[in-house]
Amino acid sequence: MTLEILICTYNERIGSVYSVLMKPMHNISYLVSWQQSDDYNAIDLPACLASRDDVKVVTLHGTGLSNNRNNAIDNATGDICLIADDDITYIPNHVEHIVEYFESHPSLDIASFRYESRQHPKDYPSYSFDLRQPMKGYYVASIEIAFRRRSVQGKLKFNPLFGANAPVLNSCEEAVFVLDALDKGLNWYFFPYAIARHEGATTAERLAGEPSTLMSNGAYIYLAYKDGTAPLRYLLLAWRSCRNPLKFFTALRYVLRGMKYIKKNYVPA
C-alpha cells in the first residue's frame, strides 16, 4: 500500500512546503495543493519542489482552507492519504507505520493520530477508541487525520462553510468532517501514536472568543446535537467564553447567529 501526504498551502506559503518533506522513501509521495487568491501574483514553483520526483503540485484559485483540503482529496492517488499543513515536521520512522494501522484493521476507513508540541501541547487519551464513542475533551485536528482513499474520495468532503477564510465561520471544519464521516457510516478510530510535530497554535486556540469562532461553534452545536441539548450547550458555550454578565449576552448573540447561519445555509456533505 502507498501513503500520500496531502499538503495544503496558500499563496507565498509555497516556499515553506519543502520543510515538511522527508527524505525520499519507498511508497511515500506528496501532493501539494497550492491555493492562490485572485490578487496573488503567482511565482514559479520552487526548484526544491520541482526537482523531487515524489512531489506533485496542483493549483486552486480562490480562498477557503476547506476548499483547499477538498482539492487535495479530489486529486489524491495514494492508497492511504495523510492530511498535512505547510508548517509541520514529520517523525519519519513513525509516518512509515501509518499504513500498517490500515493493513492490520481492514475495516478502518479513517484514523486520527497524535502530534507533539512543546509550545502548545495537546492532551490525548492514552488508548485507542472508536470515534462513535469519543472521550470527553477529545477533538480532532486536520493534521492528525489519515484515511483510506477509496473510502473518502468522492464520498466525503470538508464543508466549505467552515474553516479558515470561509465566508463566515472560521473554524470547526474538522469537527464537522468527523460528524459527516460518522453519519455516512465510516469507521474512524483514534490511535495514541505520534506522527508529527507542530509548534503553532491551532485556529481554535488563536481565535478563541472571537466572534467568528463563537459563531462556528454555535453552528457546529446545531448540527451535532439533535437530542434536544443544543439550547443548553449554546448557553454553556457563551458562559465559558465570557464570564462577565454583559459580555455573556454578547457571546450568546454570536453563538445564536452561527446557529441561524448554518440552519439557513447548510447542505449535507
pLDDT of residue 267: 83
| Domain ranges, ordered by start, for the chain | 3-201, 208-265
The pTM for the full model equals: 0.94
Model confidence pLDDT, tens digit, residues 5-63: 999 999 999 999 999 999 999 999 999 999 999 999 988 999 999 999 999 999 999 99
- What's the pLDDT score for residue 92? 85
Give the per-residue pLDDT at 203: 62
What's residue 109's pLDDT? 98
3.40.50.920, 3.40.50.1260, 3.40.50.2300, 3.90.550.10: CATH of 3-201: 3.90.550.10
* pLDDT for residue 202: 64
Positions in the chain whose pLDDT score sits under 50: none
Give the pLDDT score at 207: 64
pLDDT at 119: 87
SS3 sequence, the chain?
CCEEEEEEEEHHHHHHHHHHCCCCECCEEEEEEEEECCCCCCCCCCHHHHCCCCEEEEEEECCCHHHHHHHHHHHCCCCEEEEEECCCEECHHHHCCHHHHHHHCCCCCEEEEEEECCCCCCCCCCCCEECCCCCCCCCCCHHHEEEEHHHHCCCCCCCCCCCCCCCCCCCCHHHHHHHHHHHCCCCEEEEEEEEEECCCCCHHHHCCCCHHHHHHHHHHHHHHCCCCCHHHHHHHHHHHHCCCHHHHHHHHHHHHHHHHHHHHHCCCC
